[in-house]
């Protein structure tokens, strides 16, 4: 029954939603982040005290709020995909706009966090923990921006009526990428902010 | 119309439940962080929660649960390798 | 050949092959100087031979890329070149400037050359790969800009395909990153920091775009696989190149005074750099297996497959061997680097230029493919050069491992020259492989002159 929904979009059953190429891209991105996460974990193992001490200076609240923001944004994208599958272009645009808006909220919260750290004189060279904290979060930050650009392009095309209930691979492609950005933060948050 | 009803029950509603579940699990993780709990059991709990959250996003939001075993296996093994690696690194760091 | 103006590619290809021969001859001179220190001294000292060897490499590859672009862009855009005259003019300017530069290297001392060419006004010389006098550097920029203008105008007035856009991106990137050769800060760390941007952001970044589009073009032509499929592969490869290569370049920043985080950035991202090369190999074999026609030019297919494999081995595997910071701590600047450099440049860039020459040259001479006899000879040259290069790489790797051990790991480390004395056997073996490579190259050139029955171009 559920496969019936997928076949609405004329692509083969068993393959993930969206363009196949984006999935290769997603897995390549996951691989890069995965290696970075593991590098963090093992660098921590060699330097537990430093990491535990430095972690206490992070703003855990903003990390948690950002998790909620991204999860909710991802859910809005789900609703956008659902809307276009019913051929409701306008709803799709609204949901996408809301998702992009939450992406913006994420960026603003993150900028406050960065600002606090930078004005405390913290940089990539402060210590190994901050090197990882800053590079992981900045790297992710840039992916949020990229994801927002992709969603905005999709939203523009949806606004122009470029997608229908039958043909909307573009919406699913952008959605898949955005969920990946969410997925990465779901791992990054406990790894960097919580585990001690 | 049949399709639309189908999609609402098969796609939107499960995803709404997943979203609420993700919020609940996030608050658990945050609570652990706020109390600054540590130690092997706590960390393993956090990692298991993270794995479940990852699978929820991948399966429902990304729609991988409707794909062939290969795709699900790739995603699950990525989560297991990353999560397992973090767990191993944590245990190494205890010594 | 579908468009008259594609013919301007021919002199570029001929010049590329000519300079390739020069590069190999100077390589052999240098290889001998490794074991016979005073060979040809003082006429051609080692540092000059090295400079000519590396500069010729870069210049002949540039000729090859330009020829490839002038051949491909009209066919992809389905229109004549914007200005074939300009393309020919820039060819002669580039060739004469290049030749004069090499003559300058060989006839006057480097310091005198610098003085004659106004290096005092704007010092840019004296750095590896960027030894060219200021006037030559300016000439390169002008040649590159006129080429980009010509090609961009052609694409703008014609059909826009992914292949031509990726190729143009690569060529524009090439020109932009060359501009950093004019920046020569007096702080040695900053100097080195930006020095890496010219040649190494080429080979790990924008040149890979050129490589990908050349390979995609030839594969479309010889396999008849749908453009859509090939373009999808091209996009994925490009995405991976850009994710891994740009930050992965940080593996050059390990021990030159840059912040420590580069050891992490460089290690993590460059560890992923083999992926796009692996994808290229899979791509080439996959497309050839799914071919929908039997192209008469078997040699070009062989070169295309060879490029995939050798680029992955040379750039991917041999690069990975010493890219992680803890390993590179011991191996940097040893013969392991030389081993990687040789196989990567040959496998990725020399071979892709020979792929496009192998495909385009018969077309430019009015036939779909060369005669059977000529192709057999070309394939012999392929195997001789490729196998010789594998052996050069293996011998240099062996020399490098021994060198690392003697010089940096053992409890009583030897000095540099004392360690070099211990590895001469490998240098001799490398020189013999080099001679075999030259034989392969000579056969390659002879194959252009072998006559026989040929099919008319379609």
pLDDT reading at A24 higher than 90: no
- Provide, as residue numbers in chain C, all residues whose Cβ is less than 8 Å from the Cβ of A25: 236, 239
Higher-confidence residue of A7 and C35: namely C35
Of A143, A33, A160, A139, nearest in space to A96 by CA: A160
Q: How many CA atoms lie within 13 A of C384 on its CB side?
A: 18
Q: In this structure, are residues C137 and C205 in contact, taking their beta carbons and an 8 Å threshold?
A: no
Residue A83 lies in a domain: yes
Higher-confidence residue of A55 and A5: namely A55
Per-domain residue ranges of chain C: 1-160
pLDDT digits (tens, 9 = 90+) for C243-256: 899 999 999 999 99
**Distance from C-alpha of C290 to C-alpha of B34, rounded to nearest angstrom:** 57
Q: How many domains does chain A have?
A: 1
Q: How many CA atoms lie within 13 A of A42 on its CB side?
A: 9
Which residues are B67's β-sheet partners? A14
pLDDT of residue A25: 84
Neighbors of chain C by Cβ distance (3+ pairs < 8 Å) = A
Is A29–C272 a contact, with Cβ atoms under 8 angstroms apart?
Answer: no
pLDDT reading at A170 higher than 90: yes
**Distance from C-alpha of A151 to C-alpha of A141, rounded to nearest angstrom:** 15
pLDDT digits (tens, 9 = 90+) for C151-196: 999 999 999 999 999 999 999 999 999 999 999 999 999 999 999 9
Q: In this structure, are residues A194 and B29 in contact, taking their beta carbons and an 8 Å threshold?
A: yes
pLDDT digits (tens, 9 = 90+) for A67-119: 999 999 999 999 999 999 999 999 999 999 999 999 999 999 999 999 999 99
pLDDT reading at C1 higher than 50: yes
**Distance from C-alpha of C258 to C-alpha of C194, rounded to nearest angstrom:** 11
What is the number of CB-based contacts under 8 A between chain A and chain C?
Answer: 41
pLDDT reading at A152 higher than 70: yes
Residue A58 DSSP one-character state = S
pLDDT reading at C94 higher than 60: yes
**A132 shares contact with chain C (CB less than 8 Å):** yes
Neighbors of chain B by Cβ distance (3+ pairs < 8 Å) = A
Tokens 């956008």 sit at which residue? A80
CA dihedral C33→C39→C44→C45, nearest 10 degrees, is 50
Is C265–A35 a contact, with Cβ atoms under 8 angstroms apart?
Answer: no
Q: How confident is the model at residue A5 (pLDDT cuts 50, 70, 90)?
A: very low
pLDDT digits (tens, 9 = 90+) for C427-447: 999 999 999 999 999 999 999
* C226 phi and psi angles, rounded to 5 deg: -55, 135
pLDDT of residue A12: 56
Q: Which residues contact C407 (CB under 8 A, 6 or more apart)?
A: C334, C413, C414, C415, C416, C419
Neighbors of chain A by Cβ distance (3+ pairs < 8 Å) = B, C
Q: Note the ipTM here.
A: 0.94
Residue A28 lies in a domain: yes
Residue A147, domain extent: 15-194
What are the distances in angstroms from CA C242 to CA A193, B88, C198, C203, C209? 29, 31, 16, 12, 9
Residue A62 lies in a domain: yes
pLDDT of residue A13: 66
Helix (H) or strand (E) holding C154: helix C134-157
pLDDT digits (tens, 9 = 90+) for C270-316: 999 999 999 999 999 999 999 999 999 999 999 999 999 999 999 99
**A36 shares contact with chain C (CB less than 8 Å):** yes
Ramachandran assignment for C441, one of left (phi > 0), alpha (psi -120 to 50 degrees), beta (any other): alpha
Q: Which residues contact A137 (CB under 8 A, 6 or more apart)?
A: A110, A113, A114, A188, A192
Q: How confident is the model at residue C233 (pLDDT cuts 50, 70, 90)?
A: confident
**Residues C215-226, mean pLDDT to the nearest whole number:** 95
B51 to chain A, minimum CA–CA distance in Å?
8
Mutate to test the interface with C, among A30, A31, A33, A41 (most CBs of C within 10 A): A31
- Structure token digits, residue B89: 């690194």
pLDDT of residue C452: 82
For chain C, give the mean pLDDT. Answer: 95
Burial class (CB in 10 A: 0-12, 13-18, 19+), B88: middle
Of A155, A4, A177, A10, nearest in space to A80 by CA: A155
**A4 shares contact with chain C (CB less than 8 Å):** no
Nearest CA in chain A to C264: A39
**Distance from C-alpha of A27 to C-alpha of C235, rounded to nearest angstrom:** 15
Residue B50, domain extent: 2-94
B80 to chain A, minimum CA–CA distance in Å?
11
pLDDT digits (tens, 9 = 90+) for B22-54: 999 999 999 999 999 989 999 999 999 999 999
Nearest CA in chain A to B3: A5
Q: How confident is the model at residue C457 (pLDDT cuts 50, 70, 90)?
A: low
Is A191–B49 a contact, with Cβ atoms under 8 angstroms apart?
Answer: no
pLDDT reading at C453 higher than 90: no
Residue A5 lies in a domain: no
The DSSP annotation for C34-65 comes to HHSTTTTTTTS-HHHHHHHHHHHHHHHHHHHH
- Report the residue from A24, A25, A39 with minimal CB separation from C264: A39
Q: How many domains does chain B have?
A: 1
Is A125–C236 a contact, with Cβ atoms under 8 angstroms apart?
Answer: no
Q: In this structure, are residues B37 and A195 in contact, taking their beta carbons and an 8 Å threshold?
A: no
pLDDT digits (tens, 9 = 90+) for C334-347: 999 999 999 999 99
């Amino acid at each position: 029954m559920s496969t019936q929904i997928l076949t609405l979009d004329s692509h083969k059953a068993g393959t993930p939603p969206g363009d196949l190429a984006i999935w290769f891209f997603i897995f390549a991105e996951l691989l890069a982040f995965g290696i970075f996460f593991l590098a963090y974990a093992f660098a921590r193992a060699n330097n537990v005290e430093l990491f535990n001490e430095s972690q206490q200076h992070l703003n855990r609240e903003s990390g948690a709020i950002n998790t909620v923001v991204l999860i909710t944004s991802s859910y809005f994208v789900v609703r956008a995909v659902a809307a276009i599958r019913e051929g409701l272009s306008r709803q799709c645009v609204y949901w996408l706009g809301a998702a992009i808006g939450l992406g913006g909220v994420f960026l603003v919260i993150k900028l406050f966090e960065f600002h606090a750290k930078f004005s405390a004189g913290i940089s990539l060279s402060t210590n190994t923990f901050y090197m990882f904290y800053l590079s992981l979060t900045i790297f992710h930050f840039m992916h949020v921006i990229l994801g927002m650009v992709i969603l905005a392009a999709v939203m523009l095309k949806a606004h122009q009526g470029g997608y229908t209930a039958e043909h909307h691979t573009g919406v699913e492609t952008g959605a898949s990428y955005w969920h990946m950005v969410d997925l990465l933060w779901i791992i990054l948050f406990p790894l960097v902010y919580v585990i001690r | 119309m049949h399709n639309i009803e189908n999609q609402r029950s098969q796609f939107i509603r499960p995803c709404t439940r997943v979203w609420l579940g993700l919020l609940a699990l996030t608050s658990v993780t945050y609570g652990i962080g706020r109390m600054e709990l540590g130690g092997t059991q706590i960390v393993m709990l956090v990692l298991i929660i993270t794995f479940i959250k990852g699978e929820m996003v991948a399966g429902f939001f990304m729609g991988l649960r409707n794909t062939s075993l290969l795709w699900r296996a790739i995603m699950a093994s990525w989560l297991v390798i990353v999560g397992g690696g973090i767990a191993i690194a944590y245990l190494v760091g205890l010594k | 050949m579908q468009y008259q103006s594609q013919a301007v590619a021919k002199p570029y290809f001929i010049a590329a092959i000519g300079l390739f021969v020069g590069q190999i001859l100077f390589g052999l001179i240098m290889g001998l100087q490794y074991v016979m220190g005073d060979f040809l001294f003082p006429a051609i000292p080692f540092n000059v031979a090295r400079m000519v060897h590396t500069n010729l490499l870069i210049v002949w590859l540039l000729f090859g890329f330009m020829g490839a672009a002038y051949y491909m862009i009209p066919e992809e855009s389905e229109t004549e070149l914007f200005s074939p005259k300009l393309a020919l003019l820039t060819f002669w300017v580039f060739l004469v400037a290049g030749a004069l530069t090499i003559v300058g290297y060989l006839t006057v001392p480097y310091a005198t050359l610098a003085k004659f060419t106004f290096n005092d006004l704007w010092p840019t010389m004296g750095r590896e790969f960027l030894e060219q006098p200021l006037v030559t550097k300016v000439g390169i920029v002008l040649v590159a800009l006129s080429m980009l203008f010509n090609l961009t105008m052609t694409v703008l007035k014609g059909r826009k395909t992914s292949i031509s856009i990726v190729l143009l991106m690569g060529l524009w990137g090439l020109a932009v990153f060359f501009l950093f050769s004019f920046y020569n800060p007096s702080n040695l760390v900053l100097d080195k920091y930006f020095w890496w941007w010219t040649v190494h952001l080429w080979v790990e970044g924008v040149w890979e775009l050129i490589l990908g589009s050349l390979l995609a073009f030839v594969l479309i032509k010889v396999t008849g696989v749908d453009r859509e499929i090939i373009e999808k592969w091209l996009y994925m490869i490009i995405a991976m190149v850009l994710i891994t290569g740009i930050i992965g370049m940080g593996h050059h920043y390990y021990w030159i005074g840059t912040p420590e985080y580069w050891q992490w950035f460089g290690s993590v991202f460059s560890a992923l750099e083999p992926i796009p090369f692996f994808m290229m190999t899979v791509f080439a074999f996959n497309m050839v297996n799914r071919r929908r026609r039997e192209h008469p030019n078997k040699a070009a297919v062989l070169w295309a497959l060879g490029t995939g494999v050798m680029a992955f081995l040379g750039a991917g595997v041999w690069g990975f061997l010493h890219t992680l910071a803890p390993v590179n701590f011991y191996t940097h600047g040893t013969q392991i680097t030389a081993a990687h450099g040789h196989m990567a440049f040959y496998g990725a860039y020399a071979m892709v230029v020979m792929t496009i020459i192998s495909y385009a040259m018969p077309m430019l001479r009015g036939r779909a493919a060369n005669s059977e006899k000529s192709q057999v000879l070309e394939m012999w040259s392929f195997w001789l050069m490729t196998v010789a290069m594998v052996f050069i790489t293996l011998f240099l790797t062996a020399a490098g491992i021994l060198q690392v051990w003697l010089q940096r790991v053992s409890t009583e480390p030897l000095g540099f020259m004392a360690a070099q004395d211990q590895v001469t056997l490998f240098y001799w073996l490398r020189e013999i492989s080099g001679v075999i490579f030259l034989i392969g190259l000579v056969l390659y050139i002879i194959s252009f002159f072998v006559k026989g029955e040929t099919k008319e171009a379609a």
